[in-house]
Chains A and B, each alone.
Chain A
Amino acid sequence: MVKAQVRIQEVTYRYGSRVVLRNVTLDIPANQITVFFGPASSGKTTLLRLINRLNDDISGTSLSGHIYVGDQDIYAPGVDVPSLRRRVGMVFALPLPLPGTIRENVLYGPKLAGIRSRARLEEILYKSLSQAALWDEVKDRLDDRASALSGGQQQRLCIARSLALEPEVLLLDEPTSGLDPISTAKVEQSLLALKEHYTIIIVPHSVQQGARIADYAAFFLMGELVEHGPGVQVFQNARDRRTEDYVTGRFG
């Protein structure tokens, strides 16, 4: 077993009286693509958001258990949440470029992190756009409005924006749900290249997509972690009947 980058230990998460996640324990391997999948409201997206504490501001919720990123218990008292989020990047379902130029979008995070050196910023700009497979398409118009890009380009910009912080973990929540097949393929390709440097956790927008890219997979159903294991095993040779039914399309 490779070294675990993110460890989820006995996490139970409630929204009011409703249990969204029930006693989930899961180790997520470093430098691989881990796929969280399952039907709607199975808790997969919630777990993803918990890993960089994006649900902190939602009132009426409670969390028990621990989530470790690297060696840090991220829900321990005194954790600096903005610094945590620099280590754990997030890409959302819809491309959400910030208002402003392509350059401003990519450098937003690094600038907030206090990086001032112009040379360093240029280097980050080039590196993250290249890693997201976007550099060649935008290198001549870095100061154009980000909103003028196509949907697929915008989503890769959002990936580049997260990479600009050189996070340890990259979370993606159905990042291709709004994209056409060609753009989807481009995003998937860039993910496969990225796992060399980053630990990636993704909620795919279809079972097929999950099967295509998963090194490791976890199946969720109504807040429970039903099954997890190497991608090939979970998608082609599931141990649990419910996983198999879902993967083969017999329900959900």
Chain B
Amino acid sequence: MKKPSSQTRVARLPSRPLEFAIESLIRVLGFSAIGFVTLIFIFLLTEGLPAFLQVRPGNLFSTRWYPTFDLYGVLPLISGSALVTITAMLIAFPMGLFTAVFVREVAPNWAREVLKPLIEVLAGIPSVVLGFFGMTMLAPIVREVLGAPTGLTALTGAIILAYMSLPTIISVAEDALDAVPKSYRDASLAMGATRWQTIWRVVVPSARSGILMALMLGMGRAIGETMAVMMVTGNAARMPEGLQAILKPVRTMTATIAAEMGEVAHGSTHYHVLFGIGLILFAITFLINLAVASMMFQKRSRGGLR
């Protein structure tokens, strides 16, 4: 019924078009993450899919990776990645969980003040520096201790990878433990349980899905790690056989891409296969994240990350 007063209209004019422009820009930037993930997926797809058309499935899913002879069997690479990653998780998951429990539930303040910054430092060390350390310091130890012919083995890679995924595992597991309501602990302690019993029978079980998330995210980190693994695993594209395989050199998917992409002709079959391997890696980490995200959204609707 009434029009805005003239004073109002004067105030509108000078600042608002600029603000509209800024807010539109912010919106576009907000959407950018989706754009980038889509772009990455599209490029992996367009460059990677030809591999599955150009290489016969029998060749692609064989155990022989000799690109110079047009043999593109990716199984040794996939199993190499799996071997290193699983071994790394066998080391890192218990260590990470115990450390998270220690930091959250047990450690005196001074110990927490020492542990947390050091773990942050670990997260910040470039992977090539850890790889360098692994080559020059860890590999000789592995060789000596195990009497293996070389120190550049799946185990060496797994140890380095374990430490690289520890910061992720510890921080996610810590968050999970932190989200367990204090009342659970109080109730258990009030019934006469010791803190130790409370931790393992009440706190950790109620944080289990968050702890599972920690494992999955740590695994995602480990599968995707490139430089350190490439520098310490010896890079032999052979199928791992039996338990002693972890004392032999292996080659992971990531290392293969990093080592070979620099030398292939763009557009060649080899080039497309390497993109195809990238596509597989992308799919694996995407699925891990999707699983974690769906767990998280479920949790959030029930309150808290537990």
**B5 part of interface (Cβ distance < 8 Å):** yes
Residues of A within 8 A of B1 (CB): 73, 76
Answer yes or no: A72 CB below 8 A from chain B CBs.
yes
Q: Is the CB of A73 within 8 A of B2?
A: yes
Q: Give the complex CA separation of A72 and B11 in angstroms.
A: 16
Q: Tell me, in angstroms, the Cα distance from A79 to B2 when the chains sit together.
A: 10
Number of interface residues of B (CB under 8 A): 12
A53 CA to B18 CA in the complex, in Å? Answer: 23
Within 8 A of A (CB), among B1-29: 1-5, 7-9, 11-12, 14-15
Residue of B nearest to A70 (CB): B5
Give per-residue flags for A103-121: 1 if the beta carbon is below 8 A from chain B beta carbons, else 0.
0000000000110000000
Residues of A within 8 A of B3 (CB): 78
List, in ascending order, chain B residues with CB within 8 A of A72's CB.
2, 4-5, 8
- Verify B7–A83 contact, CB threshold 8 A: yes
Interface class of chain B by DSSP: helix
Using CB atoms, name the residue of chain B closest to A113. Answer: B11
Kindly supply a per-residue 1/0 record for chain A positions 60-71, scoring 1 wherever the CB is within 8 Å of any chain B CB and 0 otherwise.
000000001011
Say whether B4 contacts A79, CB under 8 Å.
yes
Interface residues of A, dominant DSSP:
loop
Q: How many angstroms between the C-alpha atoms of A83 and B4 in the bound complex?
A: 10
Is there a chain B Cβ closer than 8 Å to A82's Cβ? yes
Judged by a CB distance under 8 angstroms, whether A80 is at the interface is: yes
Cα(A243)–Cα(B3), bound, Å = 38
Q: Are A76 and B2 in contact (CB under 8 A)?
A: yes
Q: Which residues of A contact B2 (CB under 8 A)?
A: 68, 71-73, 76
Q: How many residues of A contact B (CB 8 A)?
A: 14
A84 CA to B11 CA, complexed, in Å: 11
Q: Which residues of A contact B5 (CB under 8 A)?
A: 70-72
Assuming the A-B contacts A71-B2, A76-B2, are A114 and B8 also in contact, with contact meaning beta carbons closer than 8 angstroms in the complex?
no
8 Å CB interface, A80-129 against B: 80, 82-84, 113-114
CA gap between A88 and B11 in the complex, in Å: 15
A114:B14 contact, CB within 8 angstroms: yes
Q: In the complex, what residue of chain A is closest to B9 when comparing beta carbons?
A: A80
Residues of B within 8 A of A83 (CB): 7-8, 11-12
How long is the Cα–Cα vector from A68 to B12 in the complex, in angstroms?
A: 20
- Report the nearest B residue to A82, measured CB to CB: B11
- Give A200 Cβ to nearest chain B Cβ, in Å: 22
Contact indicator per residue, chain A 216-242, by CB within 8 Å of chain B (1) or not (0): 000000000000000000000000000
Distance of B97 from chain A, by nearest CB (Å):
40
Our pick among A68, A76, A82 for the contact of B4 (Cβ within 8 Å) is A76
> Roughly how many angstroms separate A111 CA and B5 CA in the complex, as a whole number?
21
Enumerate chain A residues within 8 angstroms of B15, measured Cβ to Cβ: 114
Cα-based distance from A80 to B19 in the complex (angstroms):
14
| A114 to B12 Cα, complex, angstroms | 11
Chain A residues within an 8 Å CB radius of B12:
80, 83
Our pick among A68, A80, A113 for the contact of B8 (Cβ within 8 Å) is A80
Docked Cα-Cα span, A134 to B11, in Å, equals: 30
B11 proximity list for chain A (CB < 8 A): 80, 82-83, 113-114
B11 CB, min distance to chain A CBs, angstroms: 5
Chain B nearest CB, measured from A86 CB (Å)? 8
Interface positions of B from 229 to 277, Cβ below 8 Å from A: none
Q: How far is the CA of A52 from the CA of B105 in the complex (A)?
A: 49
CA distance A249 to B7 in the complex (A): 46
Contact partners of A79 in chain B: CB under 8 A: 4, 8
CB distance from B299 to the nearest CB of A (A): 23
Residues of A near B14 (CB, < 8 A) are 114
Q: How far is the CA of A143 from the CA of B31 in the complex (A)?
A: 41
CB nearest neighbor in A for B7: A83
In the complex, how many angstroms separate the beta carbon of B9 from the nearest chain A beta carbon? 8
User: Which of chain B's residues has its CB closest to A80's CB?
Assistant: B8
Which B-chain residue is minimally distant from A81 (CB atoms)?
B8
Bound CA–CA A68/B1 (angstroms): 11
Assembly CA distance A94 to B12 (angstroms) = 31
Residues from 126 to 172 in A contacting B, C-beta threshold 8 Å = none
Q: Which residues of B contact A84 (CB under 8 A)?
A: 8
Q: How far, in Å, is A72 (CB) from chain B's closest CB?
A: 6
- Of A70, A71, A72, A114, most B-chain CB atoms within 10 Å: A72
Rounded to whole angstroms, the CA-CA distance of A31 and B170 in the bound complex is 62
- Cβ-closest chain A residue relative to B1: A73
- Closest Cβ of chain B: how far from A121's Cβ, in Å? 18
- Can you list 19 contacts pairing A with B, beta carbon distance less than 8 Å? A71-B5, A72-B2, A72-B4, A72-B8, A73-B1, A73-B2, A76-B1, A76-B2, A78-B4, A79-B8, A80-B9, A80-B12, A82-B11, A83-B7, A83-B11, A83-B12, A84-B8, A113-B11, A114-B15
* 7 more CB-based (< 8 A) A-B contacts, given A79-B8, A82-B11: A68-B2, A72-B5, A72-B8, A80-B8, A84-B8, A114-B11, A114-B15
Q: Closest 7 interchain pairs by CB?
A: A80-B8, A83-B11, A83-B8, A73-B2, A80-B12, A79-B4, A72-B2
